[in-house]
Structure 1
Amino acid sequence: MKAPSFVCDTHTLIWHLQDSASLSAKARSILDDVEAGRATAIIPSIVLVEIVYLAEKNRIDPSLVEMALSCFHGDGENYQIAALDLAVAEGLRRIPRSVVPDMPDRIIAATALAMAVPLLSTDSNISTLGNIQVVW
């Protein structure tokens, strides 16, 4: 049986890497399953870009950049990068800018939509969308 997959937004990945209490119990459980190889975390490429940007702006510890990138080294398939591709660009048209005004958030939501998998996110704007399953 194929392991379940979940798209992670930027906050979710950062909080996971920090082992932060900001993660919900459900999100923590899913990410524990990812670490154990029982689930897959799909990380949109824009999430990695945002983490680099936040480190450059001194809004997060720069060590989080290396921690995030290290998720993709090794033999495991627990973490996968999702490219900003045609399917995501087409999905953007189904994420209203009036509801989700932040472009990185729209790209993350469109990634979940294009891949037809749940999104791990606490974003209240994305949570109002009816076409994406948000888990928190």
Structure 2
Amino acid sequence: MDEFFLALLSAAAELLYEVFFQVVTEALVAFIVRSIRNVLKESTAINPILAAIGYLLLGIAFGIASLLLFPHPIFHPSKFRGISLLVSPVVTGLVMSQVGIVLRRKGKQTVRIESFGYGFAFAFGVAIVRLLV
């Protein structure tokens, strides 16, 4: 019974770490996108489907880069390893959605990654890479 609780605690810690890592990474991406958008004021709107695919690919790229920084898992993989592929992007998407809501309430412009769908796509890309390795 103790092993089950230890495995459950390990899975929760792993999930919290992944969410934290993905939120910090998405905040960095939002900063970069916002900076680029300020430089290119007259950019044209991108198709939402292409933007989602772009954020997914960007997430995969950041996932690969994270493997260079952290080649070994910080937490020992738990018995519930695959659950992070779904739960982590959902939680990260919800956090990014709330960031977007707060920014809009303050009258600031948001970037696409500060919404649930695009935040989910980015975090899903990171999670796929981290899960497969």
Q: With the length of structure 2 as denominator, give the TM-score of the two structures.
A: 0.29
Structure (1 or 2) with the greater strand fraction: 1
Q: With the length of structure 1 as denominator, give the TM-score of the two structures.
A: 0.28
Structure (1 or 2) with the greater helix fraction: 2
Tell me which of the two structures has the higher relative contact order, counting C-alpha pairs closer than 8 angstroms and 6 or more residues apart.
2
